[in-house]
Structure 1
Amino acid sequence: MHNKNLLFLAASVAMLLFGIACVAIGTINEYLTSSFSVDKIFIGILASVFAAGALLGSVSFGPVADRFGYKIIMIVSLLFLFTAFEVIGRTDQLIVIQAMIFLLGLGGGIINGATSALVADLFTEKKGAYLSFLGVFWGIGALSLPLVTSVLLKNDMSYSSILSVIGLMAIVPLTLFLILKCPEPKNSGGIPYKKYLQMLKNPTILLIGFFLFFQSGFETLTTTWTPRYFLEVYSVNTQNALISLTVMSISLTVSRLLLGIALKTIVAYKVLLTGLLITFSGLLMMKFGTSYSIGMVGIAMLGFGAAAAFPVMLGYVGTMFPDISGAAFSLVLVMALTGNMLLNALGGIVFETYKVASFSLYMMAIILIMLILLYFIILKLKQQNILKN
């Protein structure tokens, strides 16, 4: 019998490391620039390399986890993160750094999907609540790295030492996964091609995938373009514009913490619907607000409202496909990452053509599409008796 609480702890620490990995390139930007004299193009290439690794990790983890179980894939992915952080801080070769950034993305993509699938399998009731708690740890990791790095640098700790310490953190969940008993593989007898085909033909999971397609794009568009929006629309300085990211990250993390409680008692899709309406209201404030403070309230509402989408939808996916949950999570997460890339590319064209002031209208259009998709998802889930209310 596996220990649910200790496995959840191991998954949470692993997710915290994924949060750190997601902001690592931005955080060590100065280190790379000063130590290797790289330009912005190289930093952009690193971001693309990380995204490619994360995409490959998202594609591959599901079938592997279903076939061989969670233990081996979590151990391997944590070793990837450990190796990447340790080597980046010690190497003087740019090609090695690129390889390690890819490894960081690969390990992170596996961890993001595998921990979510594991938690959905561990907690058969109220999956959304526990997935929301899991998401809190991602937020803690993403929020803490820039702050902790800044403090440690002021105390004369080098980037190399900081990266080494982060790598050593992987030993904690790695040890837990080594000694703990994980759920048994679901398809140890072979690859269930027939079930995979049925999943791909299921309109509900495709609707959920498209919902997360827009949600993922929305989240990255917000973190990418919000500072520029505040600079141009509210005419504030760079430091005040960057505060918007911190405000959104904090509101997102706090919201996920509260969701973990709310989703245990409130119907999940109603929480998600409320969140989308809060997000839309925040965009209205950003569009028609005339002051910096009103804009900040708006961006806080964006973070607060956006928190429910992934936990709720992944909870439904886990319920629909318990026998191949890993592969099902892989499918919708790949669709989400695809939306991330395509909507950001389209956003760049829109904002270049119509200026960044069009950001709020572009994002409102995305939310309206998500509301329409949510309506059809709810209908399908009720038809399948997954939703009772």
Structure 2
Amino acid sequence: MTTDVRPALLTTLCYAAMMCLAVGLNLLPVFLVNIGTSFGGDDPLSREALGRLGAVTFAGLVCGILVTGPLADRYGAKPFALLANLLTAIGLVGMALSDSYQMLLIMVFVLGLGAGMLDMILSPVVAALNPDRRTAAMNWLHSYYCVGAVVTILICTTALALGIDWRAVCWLAIVLPFGLVMGFLPLRFPEMVTEGGRTPMAGLCRRPWFLAALVAIFLGGATELGMAQWLPAYAETSLGFSPVVAGGGLLFFSIAMALGRMVVGALEHRANPYAVMAVGSAASVVLFLLGAFLDNPAWALLACIASGFAGSSLWPTMLAVTADRYPDGGASMFAALAALGNAGGILMPWIVGVVGDLHDLRWGLATSAIAPLLMLPLVGLLFIGAQRTRKLLSA
């Protein structure tokens, strides 16, 4: 039998589930070369075949996000929180048991599907559980993705150093999603909307503030993932560091992101969320340009790592202020926000690569500063809109 809603316990379990999402998205890239050897034998899998694994994982992620939102509004969040963790566990077990490349493709899609469902469902649940502290709770929630990424990378790299097979790591990783299923099972989840009923997506999409929020989270995703995707390659090819140091740069970038979100979470009501995003956007622009053009490689790498701290709060804080403005937006609203944020994370790494081919990777990385630069005035406009609405309601 389910109990009453227990906000503190359920919020903590959602934080752990965000780490499970990180496992689903970060385990494959670390073991990509080993997987290529495992399935290719004397003739390892081609780069296209390995790239297809990542593309299929992301396809599952997008499907999970888009499908879960409308269904969660109808059937509630709990079935999808349970199903997401089960799919993650099934994907990991399937990867460990895969005896063909085709089977592996199916299993990484399942893994991505579970990750997408988690990515979509955790934010509205935590927002509903913490209506008076959404900015803090959302930043804490997304900090645990970074923590999970760091832990996953450390465990996987240690396994590589010790010669432990990637399949064994998959078996080890299923402990977390199975544990979360057991933790979620007896708990009751909050309603996604208030008694006034859900605001339809069609209605939200007619509101200029919401459309601006979609653009803003697109730019937030672009800010975060443009640097994250290219940092190791940039550190190795343009700054001249070894592959080990370049990989360490990404690890410290993830740590910086986790710390940034924890700091914003710890500030609670002491910082205006719009001011937090404005400062983060401005600092990201400066650090991106320093990372791209500083002559000293060590200082340039340090600027790239520090940009993880600066831009860390843009995505979760935008989710929080949108949930504050539209508390009855439901899971569908969060699905739209997550989809646009991930779309920014797809486009910007591609743009960096295109500019890198046309000029060099320094200019490619500098191009990614466009995203936080555009986000800065947009945050100001969103703040003005929120203030006007607040004055009208209090009048």
Both structures adopt the same fold (TM-score exceeding 0.5): yes
Partner of 1:27: 30
Partner of 2:309: 304
Q: Would you say the 8 A contact 1:320–1:386 is kept in 2?
A: no
**2:314 is the counterpart of 1:320:** no
Deviations 1:260-318 (A, max 9, x none): 10233211111121112221221232234221221122112210111111121111121
Deviations 1:108-136 (A, max 9, x none): 11101210110001000120101111112
Distance 1:344 1:386 in 2: 40
TM-score by length of 1: 0.93
**2:346 is the counterpart of 1:356:** no
Assess, with a 3 A threshold, how the Cα gap between structure 1 residues 386 and 197 changes in structure 2: closer, same or farther. Answer: farther
Distance 1:348 1:380 in 2: 36
Assess, with a 3 A threshold, how the Cα gap between structure 1 residues 307 and 292 changes in structure 2: closer, same or farther. Answer: same
Q: Would you say the 8 A contact 2:20–2:177 is kept in 1?
A: yes
Higher mean displacement: 313-322 or 102-111:
313-322
- Residue 186 of structure 1 and its aligned partner are, at CA, apart by 4.4
One-letter amino acid matched to 2:301:
M
Deviations 1:8-66 (A, max 9, x none): 12211111010111112212213312210122111111111111111111112222222
Q: Secondary structure at the match of 2:253?
A: helix
Partner of 1:105: 112
Distance 1:154 1:226 in 2: 22
Distance 1:64 1:297 in 2: 43
Partner of 1:216: 221
One-letter amino acid matched to 1:205:
F
Partner of 2:385: 380
Partner of 1:74: 81
Partner of 1:117: 124
Distance 1:85 1:197 in 2: 37
Distance 1:275 1:101 in 2: 34
Q: Would you say the 8 A contact 1:231–1:241 is kept in 2?
A: yes
TM-score by length of 2: 0.92
Distance 2:127 2:194 in 1: 17
Distance 2:248 2:349 in 1: 21
Measured on the aligned residues, the alpha-carbon RMSD in Å equals: 2.2
Partner of 2:296: 291
Assess, with a 3 A threshold, how the Cα gap between structure 1 residues 386 and 286 changes in structure 2: closer, same or farther. Answer: farther
**2:11 is the counterpart of 1:8:** yes
- Residue 157 of structure 1 and its aligned partner are, at CA, apart by 3.9
- Residue 188 of structure 1 and its aligned partner are, at CA, apart by 11
Deviations 1:231-279 (A, max 9, x none): 3433333333333212211111111111110233211111121112221
Partner of 1:271: 276
Distance 1:283 1:98 in 2: 35
Partner of 2:207: 202
Higher mean displacement: 149-158 or 255-264:
149-158
Structure 1: state its 5+ residue gaps: none
Q: Would you say the 8 A contact 2:192–2:331 is kept in 1?
A: no
Q: Would you say the 8 A contact 1:317–1:328 is kept in 2?
A: no
Assess, with a 3 A threshold, how the Cα gap between structure 1 residues 344 and 387 changes in structure 2: closer, same or farther. Answer: farther
Q: Secondary structure at the match of 1:22?
A: helix
Higher mean displacement: 279-288 or 367-376:
279-288
Higher mean displacement: 84-93 or 255-264:
255-264
Distance 1:267 1:219 in 2: 21
Q: Would you say the 8 A contact 1:68–1:185 is kept in 2?
A: no
Partner of 1:369: 374
Assess, with a 3 A threshold, how the Cα gap between structure 1 residues 35 and 223 changes in structure 2: closer, same or farther. Answer: same
Q: Secondary structure at the match of 1:372?
A: helix
Q: Would you say the 8 A contact 1:281–1:301 is kept in 2?
A: no
Distance 2:363 2:335 in 1: 33
Q: Would you say the 8 A contact 1:129–1:263 is kept in 2?
A: yes
- Residue 343 of structure 1 and its aligned partner are, at CA, apart by 2.7
Q: Secondary structure at the match of 1:45?
A: helix
Partner of 2:39: 36
Partner of 2:53: 46
One-letter amino acid matched to 1:203:
P
Assess, with a 3 A threshold, how the Cα gap between structure 1 residues 5 and 354 changes in structure 2: closer, same or farther. Answer: same
Q: Secondary structure at the match of 2:385?
A: helix
Distance 2:172 2:155 in 1: 12
Distance 2:195 2:270 in 1: 36
Deviations 1:316-342 (A, max 9, x none): 121222223211111111112222223
Please list, as runs of the form range in 1=range in 2, the aligned pairs for 1:250-265 lying within 5 A after superposition: 250-265=255-270
Assess, with a 3 A threshold, how the Cα gap between structure 1 residues 186 and 324 changes in structure 2: closer, same or farther. Answer: same
One-letter amino acid matched to 2:90:
T
**2:194 is the counterpart of 1:176:** no
- Residue 146 of structure 1 and its aligned partner are, at CA, apart by 2.1
One-letter amino acid matched to 1:246:
L
Q: Secondary structure at the match of 2:301?
A: helix
